Structure formats: structure tokens, C-alpha cells
């Protein structure tokens, strides 16, 4: 793999589980983490769950508007809940997306979260192993505020912004299941937007700014966006694996110094050039929770 990328790599959970192929797949995961920051995860065992949940999404979004408004996120002290179409902006432009607070879907949410969280916990340990670190290296950084969202992008004019360029800032990794519509793009080192076309049954996994900070910027979050669909509705389901909100940024940097010195990486792979700012690495903030305070303009779905 060269110093940049022109496609998003595929990492196979089945190969990571097989002693005969694990080392080779861990090496692929390591290069992906260093250079791309995005990957497809296949053979996760969640294919049926992903399919069924996407089958149920249109029914949730078709609930009466007054039902959805009763759980509007602006009424929540945690700023979690329903967001109407066009209520958020990223990069100073309106995002053409909507997401509900799952009214009437508790069993769907509970079942999905339980399965995806189990996979996410295993994935973080595999990442540590791929970086030649003890498998529990990142366990102490995990938080208890992981989030699941159901997102709808209705058809819009050509080249409209579904969600603008951003990095996910809510935690460690994002695990996204997307439908077959397309529109997700990631930014490579040369400033080119690379398509992330749907792969049936896969999860698209990307680094968030919390993990970027823990690794001192070596394992950097990647800028990405969604181009709104033009002829059909797009649905996606991102799950954000949380970082501890009680951590100060000084604590993250102190921990990162010890972690970074043990990560075998050459200088040309330490940071991609074209990016939006990384808040976790900014001197403007002193603690993780100050970055994640409720904000109506936070981009972070795809």
C-alpha cells in the first residue's frame, strides 16, 4: 500500500479469526489504520441483522411528524433525539439528512446495539494487536456513551450536501452500515475524494478523533462527506464507539506518548496532509467533554 489510497481496503473478520491467515490480515489492518483510516469489515456474522434493520428503517421514518417532534433532540439535556430535515449544518452548509430517536423501535435498537457493540469491542483489541501493542492497550480509554443513529437522506438536486466534510469526534471508531444507494466519500492525502461504494452485508469502519488523540495523531481520523442521493432515499446506520468523557486532553497526550513510542510506523505514514481540523489535538480544548458538548452544527453521520 502506498502513502495514499485510491480505494478503501477490505478487512476480513473470518481471516482475522483463522490462525493460518491472521498474521497477514493483521498486517493489512495495520497498513489500513496508518494510511487510510477507513475500511470495509466483512464476514462479521451480522449480515442478517444489518439486512433486517435496514428493512425496518423506512417504517420508522414514516411515523407522523408530531410523533417524531415529541422526542426532538433540542428538548433533551443530552442533545440526543430526533433531528428534522435541514436542521444541521456542516462546513457552513445545510445537511440534507434526518434522523429519529427510534420511537416504537426499542427492540430493534437493543438488538442492534448489543451485536454491534460486541463486534466493536473485539475490533479495538484486534487494532491493538495489529499495532504490535498488548490487546488491552485501549480498553481503559473506552467510554459508556456509545451512540447509535438511524439516518435518512432524501433525494435532492445533483451534488447537494448530505453531510459536509468532517471527522467523527464522538469517540474511538465508527461502525457504519449503509444501504445500496452510495454517496459516501473519503479524502485522501492528495486531496482527492474517493468513493466508498456499498458492499452488501459489510460495515464501513473509520477512526474517530478520540483514537487519533490516543495515538498522538499517528492513527489519524479521515475527513469524509456524503453526497445527497438524486433519485432515491439513502439510509445509513452509524454506531459510534465511545471514548471516556472524563479524560483530559493532557491525560490523552501523556498516554499517547507511551503508546506512540511502541507503534512501529515510518515517518511517511504518520499523518495525512489534507484535513479538517482535529479538535482532540487542538490547544483550544482541555478536556474531552468540552469538545463533545451539545452543538447543533456537529457533522458526524455518514
Residue whose cell numbers read 456499498: 198
Total domains in the chain come to: 1
91, part of any domain: no
pTM of the model: 0.83
pLDDT digits (tens, 9 = 90+) for 142-161: 998 898 888 889 899 999 99
106, part of any domain: no
Q: What does 50-81 look like in DSSP terms, one character per residue?
A: HHHHHHHHHHHHTS-HHHHHTTBGGG-TT--S
* Distance (Å) of CA 34 to CA 245, 271, 282: 25, 8, 21
Q: How sure is the predictor about 297, in pLDDT bands with cuts at 50, 70 and 90?
A: very low
Q: What is the pLDDT of residue 296?
A: 37
229: which DSSP letter? P
More confident residue, 283 or 227: 227
Structural domain boundaries, residue 229: 10-46+112-291
Q: Are 289 and 249 spatial neighbours (Cβ–Cβ below 8 Å)? A: no
54, part of any domain: no
Instruction: Judge whether residue 100 has pLDDT over 80.
Output: no
248, part of any domain: yes
241, part of any domain: yes
Judged on CB neighbours under 10 Å (0-12, 13-18, 19+), 193 is middle
70, part of any domain: no
Distance separating alpha carbons of residues 15 and 241, to the nearest angstrom: 23
pLDDT digits (tens, 9 = 90+) for 19-67: 999 999 999 999 999 999 999 999 999 999 999 999 988 887 776 566 5
154, part of any domain: yes
pLDDT digits (tens, 9 = 90+) for 158-203: 999 999 999 998 689 999 999 999 999 999 988 999 999 999 999 9
The CATH number covering residue 144 comes to 2.60.120.330
222, part of any domain: yes
* C-alpha closest to that of 202 among 2, 5, 51, 37: 51
Amino acid at each position: 500500500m502506498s502513502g495514499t489510497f485510491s480505494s478503501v481496503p477490505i478487512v476480513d473478520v473470518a481471516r482475522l479469526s483463522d490462525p493460518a491467515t491472521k498474521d497477514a490480515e493483521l498486517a493489512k489492518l495495520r497498513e489500513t489504520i496508518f494510511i487510510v483510516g477507513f475500511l470495509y469489515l466483512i464476514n462479521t456474522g451480522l449480515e442478517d441483522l444489518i439486512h433486517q434493520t435496514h428493512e425496518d428503517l423506512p417504517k420508522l421514518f414514516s411515523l407522523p411528524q408530531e410523533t417524531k417532534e415529541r422526542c426532538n433532540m433540542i428538548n433533551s439535556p443530552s442533545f440526543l433525539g430526533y433531528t428534522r430535515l435541514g436542521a444541521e449544518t456542516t462546513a457552513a452548509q445545510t445537511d440534507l439528512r434526518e434522523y429519529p430517536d427510534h420511537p416504537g423501535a426499542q427492540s430493534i435498537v437493543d438488538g442492534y446495539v448489543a451485536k454491534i457493540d460486541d463486534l466493536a469491542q473485539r475490533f479495538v483489541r484486534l487494532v491493538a494487536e495489529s499495532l504490535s501493542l498488548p490487546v488491552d492497550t485501549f480498553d481503559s480509554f473506552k467510554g459508556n456513551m456509545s451512540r447509535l443513529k438511524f439516518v435518512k437522506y432524501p433525494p435532492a438536486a445533483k451534488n447537494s450536501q448530505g453531510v459536509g466534510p468532517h471527522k467523527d469526534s464522538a469517540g474511538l471508531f465508527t461502525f457504519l452500515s449503509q444501504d445500496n444507494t452510495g454517496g459516501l466519500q473519503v479524502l485522501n492525502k492528495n486531496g482527492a475524494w474517493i468513493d466508498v461504494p456499498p458492499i452488501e452485508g459489510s460495515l464501513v469502519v473509520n477512526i474517530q478523533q478520540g483514537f487519533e488523540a490516543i495515538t498522538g495523531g499517528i492513527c489519524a481520523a479521515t475527513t469524509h462527506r456524503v453526497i445527497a442521493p438524486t433519485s432515491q432515499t439513502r439510509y445509513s446506520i452509524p454506531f459510534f464507539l465511545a471514548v471516556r468523557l472524563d479524560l483530559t486532553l493532557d491525560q490523552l497526550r501523556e498516554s499517547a506518548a507511551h503508546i506512540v513510542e511502541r507503534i512501529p510506523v515510518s515517518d511517511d505514514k504518520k499523518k495525512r496532509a489534507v484535513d479538517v481540523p482535529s479538535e482532540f489535538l487542538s490547544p483550544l480544548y482541555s478536556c474531552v467533554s468540552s469538545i463533545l458538548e451539545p452543538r447543533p452544527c456537529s457533522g458526524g453521520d455518514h
